[in-house]
Amino acid sequence: MSTIENSSGTRELAGKRALVTGGTRGIGAAIVRRLLDAGAAVLTTARSETGTAPEEAAFVAADVRTRAGAEAIAAAAQELAAVPTVAPPFLHYTTAKAALENYSRGLAAELAPAGIRVNTVSPGRTATPGGEATREQWARLDAGTDQVDTTAPMGRDGRPDDIAHAVHFLVSPGASWLTGSGLVVDGGEFPRG
């Protein structure tokens, strides 16, 4: 894996701590690898540990949908003093994601005076086992079919590392004045304008 250095030759996230939920597969695992490589100490979570979880990251097994799981993660994060980065969980899916973005904007305004930044990353169709399983489920339900069949104008599906790069940027010193923002990383998938 390549080492990510800043202009002074040091690993730019050295001394930083990150909590990446859902870091054993797909997008989360790519984020864990990227942040580790940039020098951060990383705590990651999932319901079960798998062989694909980067070994250098600390791991806590927890289901984020349960109070007990959330408490276990909060306790482990307090030890590391880290902040959450990514959470996994169809109309309720997109509704929850939209609510999360609005919540994040409000949280960003509230926490800015304390020097805490809050940003969201919205991935487009990204090639992961979880992404494929969700799209198959949508197709079976015949729901969101237009999205299932969408090919991004950039001509390919996203790779987990495309999303990890965006997260890396948002947590890097170069983004120190960036908060309350939503970064859409989707190869131009959704019409905007």
Ligand X SMILES: NC(=O)c1ccc[n+]([C@@H]2O[C@H](COP(=O)([O-])OP(=O)(O)OC[C@H]3O[C@@H](n4cnc5c(N)ncnc54)[C@H](OP(=O)(O)O)[C@@H]3O)[C@@H](O)[C@H]2O)c1
Report d(CA 158, CA 156) in Å as an integer: 6
The smaller minimum CB distance to ligand X, of residues 38 and 187, is found at 187
The amino acid occupying position 16 is K
Q: Alpha-carbon Rg of the chain, whole angstroms?
A: 17
The smaller minimum CB distance to ligand X, of residues 16 and 125, is found at 125
> Closest distance between ligand X and the C-beta of residue 122, in Å?
7
Report d(CA 6, CA 20) in Å as an integer: 22
Instruction: Provide CB contacts within 8 A for 165, sequence distance 6+.
Output: 34
103 is catalytic: no
> Closest distance between ligand X and the C-beta of residue 110, in Å?
23
> Closest distance between ligand X and the C-beta of residue 91, in Å?
14
Q: Which of 93, 98, 116, 137 is catalytic?
A: 93
By the criterion CB under 6 A, which residues form the site for ligand X? Answer: 22-28, 45-48, 63-65, 87-89, 123, 125-126, 128-131
The smaller minimum CB distance to ligand X, of residues 12 and 171, is found at 171
Angle formed by the axes of helices 26-37 and 160-171, nearest 10°:
50
Query: Which are the catalytic amino acids?
Result: 93
